[in-house]
Structure 1
């Protein structure tokens, strides 16, 4: 079977949050989704935002993702 042929996927939206950076926020979201979903396949970054602390430094990164998983 060719990759992707005969498969059906669903996408959900999740938000990853981290004070370590964008990649860490993405990874947290994917790992959390993996806890309750099977056969994760890919992700798409929809939005990137964050929080700026009183000192002017970035204190939190927030990444909105769509994560796809294969339906049974």
Structure 2
């Protein structure tokens, strides 16, 4: 039986929400092993001069505990 744990991570990108999610997983994988899935919980962006300039995601990352 596998034991899974979920952590919540906030990340951002200047390009897209997809890249922000990839950044979250990449950063988490530096210290968390056995990542199994990512759930995008929330998305937001900052706007300057009528343009979106910073994409933010709040993700839940699930990983297997050994």
Relative to the length of structure 1, the TM-score reads 0.89
CA RMSD of aligned residues (A): 0.5
Which structure has the larger Rg over C-alpha atoms?
A: 1
Q: Which runs of 5+ in 2 are unaligned?
A: none
Give the match for residue 68 of structure 1: 62
- Hey, which bits of structure 1, 4+ residues long, moved more than 6 A? none
Count of matched residue positions in the alignment of Structure 1 and Structure 2: 66
Q: Which has the higher strand share?
A: 2
Relative to the length of structure 2, the TM-score reads 0.97
Q: Which runs of 5+ in 1 are unaligned?
A: 1-5
